[in-house]
Structure 1
Amino acid sequence: MWRKETKPKCCEEHESLPKQMQCFWPEVCEELQKLKCRHVKRFVKRKRLMKLAVPLRSMKVNRFVRTCPCKLEKSIEISRLDERKHTRTEQLAYPKARQLLLFKEEARTLFDPFRNANLNRLIRKSLFSMYSRLANVQPPKRKKVIPKWDLKEWAHHTIKLNKLAKPKKPKKIPKEPSKRMPLKSMKRFKYLAEPKKHELLEKPEWTLTDVMYRYKASQRLISLSRPVKFDETKFIRPLPEPIPESVLKAVATARTKSLAHPTSRGTKSALADIKENPFSVSPLAIKYKATKRIKDLAEPREYENKHIRDNPYSISPAALKAKASPRTISLAKPKVRSS
């Protein structure tokens, strides 16, 4: 029912020639022979091509030669993929689940993970089979009676629950050791903390020395010491200023003429600019009702003037209780300048 015998399509059965056409057969064979001889004579055998045409002898296995299936004694049978399978034979074919689990524990490290995956697949199939379920049947076990807790056990249990209910305390992050040297270990720390002392050097009184008295100025110094004389006539211009001849002879281009014309405004813009009564209010503006948002925005902002106090000489209680640090005390001292 599920197997079917078929005939191969490779060997086609040709019909025999009729008797009327058989007389032309010897002539057709002679012409084909002539064509074959002509083709062989035309072909030139080259040494290089003939060497390359020889197959390599490296193949150890014999070359596969296709044979026509019609020559075989037994007929071909087509086996389908959707062939029926009996559940009993299929499930009995799988090995027992216990044997596979023992084998997996023993040979876990010996095989590759790909082979272990195949073994897991077989275990899964054998576990779900009906016969493996029947083989793994065990007698029913009696349920253990759980004893009830005493007051002491409950108290101990509540103490543990209270401990577990508290939030976890995060671990303290250790401080990374800084690469900088601490200030206390530095030798010049106190010396550098002191303010700078600027020495005021007194300028000596100017005196005329003998070298200065005998010095003779060079011609370069004499020429530089002379004041520069400017021609004041260049800055004075007559009024009105004369127009140059090039400007009078110049001819204006079309671009300059177009720019020289005043801008022409339409009738609409002229009406908006010039009104009969510029201080009049339109009737729509008189009828308009302001919204809450506009009223809120129209109100002036209230600014707190924090700079001016009621009692500017009052001292806050925090300032009275404050204790000055040694740094503030050192900064409060006036600078000592050596005269």
Structure 2
Amino acid sequence: MIKRFKCDLSPELTTCLKLSDKDRSDCCRIQDPIPNDGECFMKDIGNELSKLYRRHERMFVKRRRIMEMALPIRRRCRYVPKCPCQFSKNIEIVRADQPSYTRTEQLALPTVRRLLNRRQLAISTGDTIGESILNRLLRYSYLSLYSRLMNIQPLKKPVKKKKTTKRQKARQNKFFAKMAVPKVVPKPPKLERQAKEISPGRLKKLSRPKRYMEEVKPQWELTETMRQYKPTKRIKIMAKHHDRENVHINESPEKVAPNALTYKPSARIKEMSQPLTMHEANTVPVDIKENPFAIAPNALKYKASSRMKELAEPKEFENTHIRENPFAISPAALKAKATPRLIELAKPKGG
């Protein structure tokens, strides 16, 4: 049996203060004792506490080890009543549902959506006390200034939707089947170009400058690791020069193949091996010609046309650069009047 303190508010012991507890030796005497009819409220408080204990028991898994560990090692009084003489100011009782008028108090009220969500949770868990508190807060939030400005309305019972008839379902299915068919994408029309017309997109693409990436080779340097490098045996073998025979050099170039010596050319090959003779001038080389300035016989027989004769005659051009009277003055220059600026410029310098 666990020993309980007088201040331990539990279902077995409803209250910690009784009428006989008005005399306290550790502090001053209580001037206003608990009235005789004050114990009538203790029963209601005990009932509320018993409800809380029952809720607490339902919320946790009852295991023997957990319940043993939940008991405190050093049990102390949960609430020690203090004497009012220790406070310098008077104790004022403030109502819990005091109306709020200031802007700060109005803005400090919780949002209606959050309260409705918490209220729904309290109803589902069977928390009547929490539901009553949330109802009070909801009343304040609904009647606040900012909720009225936002036109927040209380929740309404949702209207049940009517069941669709067979005719409506058939109509819906017909509409869904129509909408499920994919649309045919129209083909873009072909561009009609006129003769010698160039595509503007092609011109724009060709007008863009080409980008050339300049390859910057780093300057070669003989590093310290390269100086101290020691090649392996395999690298030394691969670094040796191989002497190979040059198959492209013929040691005896004057040697003729035996097939070429015994070959007999045909009449056609002999004919093709002779040089072409177009006319008598090509039969003899230029260096051996008797008269290199001789005129070709075809040129002597050629008859010139009238147009060729006209073009062959020299033309006389009038020389426009030489004047007949170079000292003549034009009539416009004689009629011209000199401006003051011209007169000033005509004066000799340093005069």
TM-score by length of 2: 0.18
TM-score by length of 1: 0.18
When Rg is computed on C-alpha atoms for both structures, the one with the higher figure is 2
